[in-house]
Structure 1
Amino acid sequence: MAREQFQNLTEPMYYILMSLLKEQCGVDIMEAVYKISNGRVRVGPGTLYALLGKFEKEKMIIETEVQGRKRSYIITEKGKEILLEERRRLITMVEDWDDYMEDKL
């Protein structure tokens, strides 16, 4: 079921998972998403914590530390697999574009 739910990742999902290749707390994740996306993607707290909850439920990430209200997370092997599958899907889409559009523009 997890693969179906996360068949295609949204940009925030993709960048959040990328940011969690390193253990981080929520504020650091929001900053990392902004930095990794070169300022194109901003994730607010509501979106972030909703997605972290879904990712954690599907065992794509794990909580690593709790200090008061501050919680830290890191991606799991399952999360890495889904992230890599999404990367492959995006590359395939670009290659399909290149092949099809080669002489059309």
Structure 2
Amino acid sequence: MAFGMSEQAYFVLLSLAEEPRHGYGVVQAVKAMSDGRVRLGAGTLYGILDRLVEAGYIEASGELVVDGRLRRYYRLTPDGRAALAAETARLTDLASLARRVLAARPPRAALGPA
């Protein structure tokens, strides 16, 4: 995968898997999905959106003017859905490994200096 998947980018893709959204809608969805842990500022969000568009993972799906302001909507592409699925599988494998390591018996303490 050429695109480096940050946690923030992962949440942006995940928010767009539900439905097309405009920037503020993405911010709100990410905040809700992460229980407020991930918060996206405008500069961060639009940088991520630009990189996701460039990678072919999302595309603009329309624009509306609401209260005199332009809202550009984005949607997930098939490549974006595949990238999201691949990253989800990678994270699942990583979490499984962590559970196995943490559940393993701790190593015996050393008897003295080596």
Determine if the TM-score, normalized by the shorter chain, exceeds 0.5: yes
In percent, how many aligned pairs have the same letter? 28
Q: 1:17 aligns with which of 10, 13, 27?
A: 13
Alignment of 1:6-85 (within 5 A): 6=4, 9-21=5-17, 22-68=19-65, 69-85=70-86
Residues 57 and 79, structure 2, Cα contact 8 Å, conserved in 1: yes
Counterpart residue identity of residue 5, structure 1:
F
- Shift in Å at residue 10 of structure 1? 1.3
Cα root mean square deviation, aligned: 1.4
- Runs (4+) of structure 1 exceeding 2 A deviation are none
Distance (Å, rounded) in 2 between the aligned partners of 1:4 and 1:62: 17
Residues 61 and 73, structure 2, Cα contact 8 Å, conserved in 1: yes
- Shift in Å at residue 59 of structure 1? 1.1
Residues 16 and 74, structure 2, Cα contact 8 Å, conserved in 1: yes
Distance (Å, rounded) in 2 between the aligned partners of 1:100 and 1:54: 35
TM-score normalised over the length of structure 1:
0.89
Structure 1, unaligned stretches of length 5 or more?
none
Q: 1:5 aligns with which of 3, 24, 29?
A: 3
Structure 2, unaligned stretches of length 5 or more?
108-114
- Shift in Å at residue 47 of structure 1? 0.6
Partner of 1:89: 90
Answer with 1 or 2: which has the greater Rg.
Answer: 2
- Shift in Å at residue 66 of structure 1? 1.5
Give the secondary structure class of the aligned counterpart of 1:74. strand
Counterpart residue identity of residue 57, structure 2:
M
Give the secondary structure class of the aligned counterpart of 2:72. strand
